[in-house]
Structures are given as structure tokens and as C-alpha cells.
Structure 1
């Protein structure tokens, strides 16, 4: 099943990342926060299908997507040409990443646009969860931090949420944490054995982070990711 969505708004998040607010008239989206849709279009003789995860909650006729533009990326370049009033074809929402238990403490660990399912699940957890939430997000430098204002606002509104940013290549003015997400797990999470951990980012980051979580005592059943990343790293 596909939907024809209307671009309601586009807005810059960083110099290479933009947000897209899409609406499907007379439709109500029903999905688990963390699941992804697909953007579909033809490029020459090729049918292009790429996954993108909404950052908003279900229950409306709209999806909010966050898309990083790559110079050689067919889908990202295609989306970055879209303007309000244009149409985009979307696939059904699916995927393995979703909240397992809203009654447990949670840790969301992500880098880059891997933040998108985490932000959707965080919003669900802040509405339904009963425990503590940790959000650890990594980027290259301060100029590439996406959704920074949103996360800071959520942290200010919810005492149960702790948000930490870490940069792998910070400049001298940065006073926060430096390094990769997996290097800061011990200081960010209080009780690994009792916390559900959600991981999303480039495959190498996901694999490294999951391995480090296991070393810190997190049972496999409490480590959640899309699940395809191990194979992607093995093939590289």
C-alpha cells in the first residue's frame, strides 16, 4: 500500500539536514513510534525506495521526516528539491524498532539521523512511560547537531529525562562531552541491568554500542535495534 502525501512544509535543521512535514488527506497514520515509512519514486529506469522514520507520534494525517542530503544520494537529493504543495509517494510504516516496555527505565543511544526513531519513541515514552529516560546523542561537531532545541525543550519539561550530547570532532569552544556514544555509556546510564537500551546509527556504531552494552551487563533481550546492522558490518 502506498499513499500520496502533500508537502506541507520544509525547514532547515543544519546546512545538510532538512525537516519535511507531509500530509495525507483523509488518512490517519497508525504505527508504532520507531517504525519507518519509505519514499518511492522513479529515477530513469530505476525504481528508488528509501526508508525514513517519522519523528512525530501517530494519530494524525501527517508525518515529520528528517533527511540528510548526500551529494550522491538519489533519494535525499530528490526530497531536498521538494517544496510546499509538491507530492511524495510514501510506503506503509513497518520495522522492528519500537518500545518494548513503557514501565521500564530506557536509554536511547543514537548518532546522526539515527536520532529519528529515538525521538519518536522518546515522545511516546514521555507520554506513557513510568520510569527514567536517558537520551545520549552523538554527532561530528556542533554545527551538525540536529533536533538539539527539541531535545533541550523536552528535557526542560520532563524531570525524568536526561539528555546528553557528545561530539566526535568538537571545536575548542565545546564544553560538553567529546568522543563517541559508546565511550560514554557508563557515565550516562545508572543501572544497565534494569534498563532497556535502544540503539540506532550507522551499522558500525550500532554493532560497537551493542557489544559494549553486553560487556556492561545488559542482557540481549534488553538491547533493541533494527537488527540488520550486524550483517551489514560483516559484509563490509
Structure 2
């Protein structure tokens, strides 16, 4: 089943990422923060993205494409927000980045297993790039319902590419139980924060690793390395919840 959504607004978040606010009049979105919907559309011919990556979601005739994107807001209204990064040969991202207010987009049902397991436990959200999208929705849900401490750890290559920076800083200023750490891999002399990769800073940011739930989302290499680092630092396997994506399996391109 799909829903026809109207593009309400488009906001340029970073040089490569746009936020799309989509509305389905008369429909209340019901999903677990962290789950993803799909953007679906028809196109002519097999696109370069699908040819190069062997995308299983595209019809072999090249007539239809389906890409998953995670809502960054919480449920309960007739609107969702999607933050979508443009890729040089990204068929779906090019399609979405051409959308304007008033256009219509077909959305699929919400699905996925990534969600806050317990709102009673301390948590840490660890992400890089557009892996921030499920983490942001889960963070908002936790700040509404959670009873413990939350640490939001996010990695990007440079300051201008940090997605939702103002939103994160505002949430951190409004909630005493939220700590925010942004790590840049390509910083310059103006950056005073931590540098490198997010997984390299875990041991310095947490005193213990067996007393909170860790949620990790990003490209597969980052997810694998972070999960291994957490295991080495003493985090039990059942307290580390991960989701990475291969060729747009979570965050569509």
C-alpha cells in the first residue's frame, strides 16, 4: 500500500542534503521512530546507479524504483520529514532533489527493526552521515519518554556537512540529560572539537559500557568497527543495536 504525499516544504540543510516535509491529508503516520518508509516512482530506462550497484529494488525493465528513507520526526501527525543526500549518480536522490512544494510523492508503508528498545535505560546514539536520520527520530522519542541519560555521538567530514546541527544543539541546551558530541574527520584550525572517527572516541566518552544501550547506524564499515570496539570495551552484545546499509538498504541514494 502506498500513500500520495504532497511536498509541503524543502529546506537545504547542508551543501548536499535537503529536508523534505511531506503531508498526507487525513492520514496519521504511525511508526516506531527509527523505522523507514519508501519513496517510489516510475522512470524510463535502467539508471546508472542501478546498473553499477545491481539494485534489487529496481524492476529489471527499469520501470519502477523503490528507495527507503528514514523519517526524522516522531509519529502522530499527517506529516513526515525526510533528510536526503544527493549523490552524483543517485537516481532516487536526484528525483527527490528535483521535488518542489506542491509536488506529489508516493510513500510506502513504514518498516524496519531499529527502534528504542527501552526508555528506562541510559542510551547512546552513534551515527555518521545520513545514518543520523533514524538516530534523530529515536533521540526525539527518548527525550519525550526516556527516564535516563542519553549521549548523542555523530561523525561527519566537515562542519558544513553536519546535518541538523542547530536542532541537535537546541535539544542539548533544553535537556540536561543529553550530551552531544560531534566528531569531524576533515577539520581545520577553526574546529575545537574531537577529530577522526566516532568509534575512536568511545573509550574517552564513557566510563563503563555495560550499563546503557548503544544504537549504531551508518555505512557498513563504520557499523562493524563500532560494534567491535564496543564489544572490546565490554558492552554486552544484547545492548548493542546496529543497522548499516549496503547500496541504500537503509538510507536510499
Partner of 1:80: 97
> Is the Cα–Cα contact under 8 Å of residues 196 and 222 in structure 1 kept in the other structure?
yes
> Is the Cα–Cα contact under 8 Å of residues 96 and 227 in structure 1 kept in the other structure?
no
> Is the Cα–Cα contact under 8 Å of residues 220 and 244 in structure 2 kept in the other structure?
no
Can you list the C-alpha shifts for 1:215-236, whole angstroms capped at 9, x where unaligned? Answer: 011111111123767xx9xxxx
Q: Secondary structure at the match of 1:192?
A: coil
Alignment of 1:105-124 (within 5 A): 105-124=122-141
> Is the Cα–Cα contact under 8 Å of residues 134 and 189 in structure 1 kept in the other structure?
no
Alignment CA distance shift 1:228-1:142 (3 Å): closer
Q: Secondary structure at the match of 1:165?
A: strand
> Is the Cα–Cα contact under 8 Å of residues 159 and 184 in structure 2 kept in the other structure?
yes
Alpha-carbon distance in 1 for matches of 2:208, 2:165 = 25
Can you list the C-alpha shifts for 1:13-32, whole angstroms capped at 9, x where unaligned? Answer: 01110000000010000100
Partner of 2:87: 70
Q: TM-score, normalised by structure 1?
A: 0.95
Unaligned runs of 5+ in 1: none
1:167 to 171, 184, 187: 184
> Is the Cα–Cα contact under 8 Å of residues 37 and 91 in structure 1 kept in the other structure?
yes
Partner of 1:191: 208
Can you list the C-alpha shifts for 1:164-219, whole angstroms capped at 9, x where unaligned? Answer: 00001111111100000100111222321011000001110001000100001111
1:208 to 182, 200, 225: 225
Tell which deviates more after alignment, 153-162 or 39-48.
39-48
Computed over aligned residues only, the root mean square deviation of the Cα atoms, in angstroms, reads 1.2
1:182 to 175, 199, 221: 199
Alpha-carbon distance in 1 for matches of 2:183, 2:29 = 33
Q: Secondary structure at the match of 1:51?
A: strand
Q: Secondary structure at the match of 1:59?
A: coil
Tell me whether 1:46 sits opposite 2:63 in the alignment. Answer: yes
Partner of 1:29: 29
Q: TM-score, normalised by structure 2?
A: 0.89
Unaligned runs of 5+ in 2: 45-61
Alpha-carbon distance in 2 for matches of 1:210, 1:157 = 30
Tell which deviates more after alignment, 46-55 or 79-88.
46-55
Greater relative contact order, per chain length (Cα 8 Å cut-off, separation 6+): 2
